[in-house]
Structure 1
Amino acid sequence: MSSAVSLDSAATGGPPPIAEKADITAWLGVAAGAIGSLMATLDISIVNASLPTIQGEIGASSSEGTWIATAYLVAEIIIIPLTGWLERVFGLRRFLMIATVLFTAFSVMCGLSTSLTMMILGRVGQGFTAGAMIPTALTIIATRLPPQQQPIGTALFGLTVIMGPVLGPLVGGWLTENFSWHYAFFVNVPISIILMVLLYVGLPKGKMQLGELVNADWLGVIGMVLGLGGITIVLEEGHREQWFESALIWQLSAVTLLGFIMIAVGQFYAKRPVIKLSLLRNRAFAAVFALAFVLGAVMFGTAYVIPQFLAAIADYNALQAGKIVFLSGIPAMMMMPLFPILIARVDLRLIVGTGVILLAMSCYLDVALTAQSRGDDFVVTQLMRGLGTVFCMMFLNQAAISSVSRAEAGDAAGLFNAARNLGGSIGLAALATLQDERWEFHRWTIHSTLGANDVRVQDWVSQQAMNYGGGPDGLAAAMRSLDGMVMRDALVMAFNDDFLALTIGIVLVAPLVLLLRPLPKGYHAKAAH
């Protein structure tokens, strides 16, 4: 277990590094992997702070706007487990070149979008191509760096994965406020050009193995598209379609079930299943999977909910909201250099447990938001959330790899990343649905307490009507003002329910930390596909 090179590196055709120190071309390859993974994770949330502006321009409602984020995540979930197979088919460098070119084209498509449908199609394309850049970054580290230098590359990768989602709203907000939301997508063009140059120089040319197309788990691939896509649509559209009163929801649920059945069948009949679900029989790895799922919901959920709250309640613009989200990245930047030291000297369960406690506390403290809350009210909780995320994310990744055999390390890392993104996708959809339902619930609950015969209510309405000029028009304006206040307070309460749901989710999985397997003594950070 002391070697830092995953066996998956051999499967991709890349020989393990033999030099004691990597040369400049190897580091350029690692830089390419880091830039690719940063761009892929950054684009998950780059639209979050700009969503109110984008929704207004393309004619989408707030709940429909969540599709702009979830479409990307679902596509990433599907492609991540397929990257090992696609590397073998096309060769690593050629595969990443193709992915980068297509990612750039889909980014331009998003930037030129004039409708929700066009935007969603572009985001799905972005997710499919960007998802390839996340696990392949670790493959580059495992195949281009010698074991003693891999902890540096792994820490660099970890920083990009954690910083991407929190940096996204800041970059997107700055571009939206200073230029236009379209540039949140166009910015990928120059970055992609740089990435292609680094890929060409830093990675060796690999051979294609088109025969691998025959060995693909096509049942699993199609099943993932149907199952994951179906369940996300059900969660997104269920509230608007009155759940199972709608024939559409029944049909989508059937498609989801069919997809999951196809994935299960692929486990038994495919030579190499697209997702090796048998790993979940391993108690330690199952604990990692569940923790990663909830962590993804917290990471991507809060990066979505906080900008929405600040825009709707505090009247923040995209840049101001992005700055608040970015606060959680500060602890990640500060702690990442200590990652190789901590992982070798501190019990993994202690670090992850501390991270889980910090995440639970950060969400619980945000349950008490009011209509007067502003960005300052998120400073402490965002810093706590950032520290909790870096403790959980980086060390759970190592726990995933170390809890299985060397031959299964690549499958474990892929399933871990899929769990994180799946949690983010389902979490976003569930939070948006919960917010809509609780907003409506709280609105009518508050209205029911405002009795028409209540003297205080009558006095307030009369006073407001006079302020608006009196008469029938003044009375109508006063009633609209009252309803606006009720809707505002109800929305704040709905946001609080979102944070309470996240808190409960974290608390429920917290005991799983005890099932994690301690890392071997003298363990060093591993890079695995």
Structure 2
Amino acid sequence: MSTASLPVSAGQPAAPLATPAPAAPPPAFSIGELSTHAKIFAFATMCVGMFIALLDIQIVSASLRDIGGGLSAGVDETVWVQTSYLIAEIIVIPLSGWMSRIVSTRWLFSLSAAGFTLASLLCGTAWNIQSMIAFRAMQGFLGGSMIPLVFTTAFAFFQGKQRVIAAATIGALSSLAPTLGPTVGGWITDNYSWHWLFFINLLPGLFITVAVPMLVRIDKPNFSLLRGADYLGMAMMAVFLGCLEYTLEEGPRFDWFGDDTILLTAWLSGLAAVGFIWRSLTHEQPVVDLRALKDRNFALGCAFSFMSGVGIFATIYLTPLFLGRVRGFSALEIGLAVFSTGIFQVLSIPIYAFFANRVDLRWLTMFGFACFTLSMWNFSPITHDWGAQQLLLPQALRGLGQQFAVAPIVTLTLGGLAPQKLKLASGLFNLMRNLGGAMGIAACATLLNDRTNLHFQRMAEHLNSTNENMGQVLQGISSSLSSWGLDAADSQAGALRQLWSLTFREAQTQTFSDIFVIIAVCFAIVTISVPLMRKIAPPKAPSADAH
């Protein structure tokens, strides 16, 4: 419906018939003048920004020991190099929709890229651990705001088959970047230094900062939204998500609610969450549109996005941890061992693109989650001598599952939303994936601690003087140590230490197997839930009413 045909508002004098109707406001999306090639190049440029922002979540994970050594920091302090990034990112993602409506998509993306580039430079030149943590938080805040904007731009630029391919690209990058993070980070640190983990962002960051304002023109700034915005809701959301992320990250290390700080942040997060939800449902201009959850596809899509976050981030956490703790692999060896996931995901992109235009996306999603389930199940027979060769099949299934699960969820969840709802909704959708990752990692860390102790105690019950096999093992180890010149007492003590190490190694291995089984069961439940989503037909083009 055109603006000229709208009824006159109450209390407003009618215009004379000879007076032309007032000019319509500038459309929210003015993309008709862009050619297809220009749209693809603009979209690709933004994808680069999203990729480096997602890559930087995990790029430091394999190099924390080197960063801590370079900055003379302990393990507890060094962990915050990653935690500060995650907390800042998870706070800004749901805010990005509101901010892009104020300053426009292109300027928010450009300013975020510029800030992210500057923060990367500062991280690479950090002089102590405190400055590194502050700059990483800045990097996470500015990088996180770029991620949801790529989703909204894809649905504004493309229709039909092009939209499916764009969604497949986003799905691939959003799961591939954190998967490759440890590999890229380990290789850079081993061949150069940890400083280059951040300096590699400078050239692409500068290019994106300059290119996006010239290429992306899909909406106009609307500074009037600053008036009457729900600033109290934003503050509550920041406290809720920030404290939640801190609780999830630090809880496993500090015995959860046995620690006063964890208990305090958990309470603050819970109370702020209640206030945030209340404000979002009652305020005229909520920062996050929770009402979108009334749409069945969007609600289920957010749940599936949460579960995909568990699958992507929890397995990225578990596999390198197993290879480091149990196998004793270096950062580079770990990266090379898990690299196969990324290879198989990239190889599956054209296969997905072929079927996405011919098969109901719900069945492709089911196939993807089924591959995830099989992947976790194939991880479960894990033993202490598993390496890259044994990990190949489960990681191949995971790479295939990531592509076929994440990409169609993007289309099924966001493809049917009106353009004016898309910005706020995409922030919530991306937030759910990150929350899934944070909660999945926290649950895995807790299970690793508790189940390892349980398995160790169960095995230790059988390691006593009546166990003949244990006696033979101890005698063999003790004899070997004696041959090195140790006396009988030292040989026996050394044999007991080695027995303890072997037992603990097996307890850890059994725990990794338990966790993979639990994740497989969760994905099996998700797989059979996918048909609850409705089949959607993406809108052909944004209508005038949507503006």
TM-score (norm 1): 0.87
Letter paired with 2:145: A
Query: Does the aligned pair in 2 maintain the 1:15–1:143 contact within 8 Å?
Result: yes
Partner of 2:31: 17
User: 1:405 and 1:202, CA in 2 relative to 1: closer, same or farther beyond 3 A?
Assistant: closer
Any idea what the Cα deviations from partners look like across 1:281-322, whole Å, max 9, x if unmatched? 333322222111111111111112211211222232222222
Residues 90-239 of structure 1: pairs in structure 2 closer than 5 A: 90-112=103-125, 118-143=131-156, 150-203=163-216, 208-239=221-252
Letter in 2 for 1:40: A
Deviation at 1:249, TM superposition (A): 3.0
Aligned to 2:270: 257
Moved more, 338-347 or 113-122: 113-122
Alignment-derived partner of residue 509 in structure 1: 526
Q: How does 1:60-75 map to 2 (within 5 A)?
A: 60-61=74-75, 68-75=81-88
Task: State the AA in 2 paired with 1:314.
Answer: R
* Distance in 2 of aligned mates of 1:421 and 1:170: 20
Is there any run of 5+ residues in structure 1 with no aligned partner, and where? 1-9
In 1, the alpha carbon distance for the partners of 2:169 and 2:541 equals 12
Question: 1:461·1:479 contact (CA, 8 Å) conserved in 2?
Answer: yes
Map 1:433-472; keep pairs closer than 5 Å. 433-468=446-481, 469-472=486-489
Which has the larger Rg? 2
Paired AA for residue 474 in structure 1: S
Deviation at 1:346, TM superposition (A): 0.6
Contact 2:149–2:423 (Cα < 8 Å) also in 1: no
Q: Label 1:255 to 1:358 Cα distance change in 2 as closer, same or farther (>3 A).
A: same
SS at match of 2:101: helix
CA shift, 1:51, in A, is 4.1
**Residue aligning to 2:505:** 488
Q: Deviations over 1:136-172 (max 9, x none)?
A: 2234445556877555544443333232122222211
Q: Secondary structure at the match of 1:238?
A: helix
Tell me by how many angstroms 1:383 deviates: 1.0
Q: Please give the alpha-carbon distance, in whole angstroms, between the structure 2 residues aligned to 1:11 and 1:490.
A: 66
Contact 2:168–2:403, Cα closer than 8 Å, also in 1: no
Asked if 2 retains the 8 angstrom alpha-carbon contact of 1:291 and 1:512, the reply is no
Larger mean Cα displacement after TM superposition, 366-375 or 143-152: 143-152
The amino acid that maps onto 2:526 is V
Deviation digits for residues 115-140 of structure 1 (CA, Å, limit 9, x no counterpart)? 66554433332221111111222344
Question: Is 1:70–1:429's contact at 8 Å kept on the other side of the alignment?
Answer: no
Counterparts of 2:29 and 2:418 in 1: how far apart (Å)? Answer: 20
Identity %: 31
CA distance in 2, matches of 1:483, 1:75: 41
Give the secondary structure class of the aligned counterpart of 2:254.
Answer: coil
Distance 1:115 1:426, change over 3 A: farther
Choose from 506, 511, 514 the match for 1:497.
514
**Cα shift at 1:411:** 3.4
| CA distance, structure 1, for counterparts of residue 296 and residue 460 of structure 2 | 49
- Equivalents in 2 of 1:410, 1:336: separation in Å? 26
* Kept in 2: contact 1:28–1:201 (CA 8 A): no
Q: Which shifted more, 362-371 or 178-187?
A: 178-187
In 1: Cα distance, 2:218 partner to 2:469 partner: 78
CA distance in 2, matches of 1:93, 1:83: 12
Q: Could you tell me how far 1:15 is from its partner in structure 2?
A: 2.9
Structure 2 Cα separation of the partners of residues 53 and 430 of structure 1? 27
CA positional deviation for 1:216: 2.8
TM superposition shift of 1:35? 0.8
Residue in 2 that maps onto 1:4: none
Q: 1:406 to 1:85 in 2, by over 3 A?
A: closer
2:416–2:539 contact (8 Å) kept in structure 1: no
**Residue by residue, what CA displacement relative to the aligned partner does 1:67-115 show, whole Å, maximum 9, x if unpaired?**
5445433432321221122123233333223212221233234434576
Q: Distance in 2 between matches of 1:119 and 1:138?
A: 30
Aligned to 2:394: 381
Output the amino acid matched with 1:409.
Answer: L
In the alignment, which residue of structure 1 is the partner of 2:316? 303
**Residues 107 and 185, structure 1, Cα contact 8 Å, conserved in 2:** yes
For structure 2, list consecutive stretches of 5 or more residues without a partner in the other structure: 1-23
Answer yes or no: is the 8 Å Cα contact 1:13–1:91 preserved in 2.
no
Distance, in Å, in 1 between the alignment partners of 2:357 and 2:112 is 35
- The residue type equivalent to 1:501 in the other structure is I
Q: Which residue of 2 aligns with 1:314?
A: 327
Number of residue pairs the alignment of both structures matches: 515
Letter in 2 for 1:332: Q
Matched with 1:89 is: 102
Distance 2:294 2:427 in 1: 16
Give the match for residue 49 of structure 1: 62
Trace 1:316-395 onto structure 2 (pairs within 5 A).
316-395=329-408
Residue 425 of structure 1: aligned partner: 438
Cα distance in 2 for residues equivalent to 1:503 and 1:153 = 29
Instruction: Give 3-state SS (helix, strand or coil) of 2:357's partner.
Output: helix
Indicate the residue corresponding to 2:19 in structure 1. Answer: none
Q: Return closer, same or farther for 1:96/1:516 CA change in 2, 3 Å cut-off.
A: same
Q: Which moved more, 1:99-108 or 1:141-150?
A: 141-150
Query: 2: distance between equivalents of 1:306 and 1:60?
Result: 24
Using the size of structure 2 for normalisation, the TM-score is 0.85
| Partner residue in 2 for 1:6 | none
Distance 2:65 2:375 in 1: 25
Q: How far apart are the structure 2 equivalents of 1:179 and 1:13?
A: 49
Give how far 1:222 is off.
1.9
Shift of 1:60: 4.8
State the Cα deviation string for residues 175-229 of structure 1 (Å, max 9, x = none).
0111122321221122212222322432459865443223333233222222222
Mapped contact 1:73–1:422 kept (Cα < 8 A):
no
Q: RMSD over aligned Cα, in angstroms?
A: 3.1
Distance 2:528 2:109 in 1: 39
Decide whether the 8 Å contact of 1:12 with 1:88 is kept in 2.
Answer: no
Describe the shift of the 1:478–1:399 C-alpha distance in structure 2 as closer, same or farther (beyond 3 A).
same
Would the alpha carbon gap of residues 458 and 145 (structure 1) be closer, same or farther in structure 2, given more than 3 Å must change?
Answer: closer
Mapped contact 2:279–2:286 kept (Cα < 8 A): yes
Change (3 A) 1:357 1:470: same
In 2, the alpha carbon distance for the partners of 1:165 and 1:351 equals 22
CA distance in 2, matches of 1:356, 1:268: 32
Counterpart selection for 1:518 from 535, 540, 544: 535
